[in-house]
Amino acid sequence: MTELKTIRCLIVDDEPPAREVIRRYVQDVPTLHLAGECANAVQALAALQQQPVDLIFLDIRMPQLDGTTFLKTLKNPPRVIFTTAYPEYALEGYELDVVDYLLKPVRFDRFLKAVNKAFPLGSQQTDAVNFTAPAVGQEEKKNESFVYFRADRKMQKVMLHEILYIESMKDYVKIVTTAGVIITKQSITSVEAMLSDKLFVRTHRSFIVAIDKIRSYTNELIEIDKAEIPIGKLYRNGVMKMLS
């Protein structure tokens, strides 16, 4: 297992709302670090000269210099994920060997998939954001699967088979495990995207539970250990389908 490293990200987009979305997503992923934000390609060039960057979220249509032209000017560019509202630019992006192409408005699950594509498990530069083993269904592999959460100023390793349930607490998330409780500043949606839907199910806007830890359930509640987890109306059909 290689050492967990931070992926330094640069956001380049002339639209402040678009930068805000990507900024929030970057902040929600513990292994990502926001190295800077730029409103145009000229600012981005200066930022790249000042500090190393591992990944650029690059808009295509910008004033002065568009994203594709800017990318062509870089001799040794970092990995690039295009973010744009215009799908007709996708082909040109792939011809430039970009990692992925995110169509605005960018969904978080699609964002996370692109990041994992840029830095897959076993990459020489960094470990993946999601450390879940791919062979779900094999007991020995499931028991080896884990994720990292930032807590107490360090990255803490959590084995998936130890997680009982996860609870949202406004800007924080509580991960309840058989070994104890971890509190991390992260959204529950970002945590959900890190977990396998074969092992976990979202039961409520504030709760995710480990399917194999469920002791009993009704249409309104799930019992895990000594806790009663609510089933929200919007999630009920999906939860019942999964459990049946």
Q: pLDDT for 92-135, tens place per residue?
A: 555 677 888 888 888 888 898 889 888 874 443 433 344 333 33
- The Cα-based distances of 145 to 12, 115, 134 in angstroms read 34, 19, 9
CA 100 to chain centre: 15
Domain 139-243 has CATH 3.40.47.10: no
Indicate whether 22 pLDDT > 90.
Answer: yes
> Any idea which fold 7-118 has?
Rossmann fold (3.40.50)
CB 243 within 8 A of CB 214: yes
* Tokens matching residue 167: 């609870």
Please report the pLDDT score of residue 91 as a whole number. 55
Please report the pLDDT score of residue 142 as a whole number. 47
Please report the pLDDT score of residue 147 as a whole number. 81
Indicate whether 66 pLDDT > 80.
Answer: yes
Same fold, 7-118 and 139-243: no
Indicate whether 13 pLDDT > 70.
Answer: yes
Distance CA 14, CA 219 (A): 48
Please report the pLDDT score of residue 125 as a whole number. 40
Instruction: Return the top range by mean pLDDT from 42-46, 67-71, 91-95, 182-186.
Output: 42-46
Where are the domains positioned within the chain?
A: 7-118, 139-243
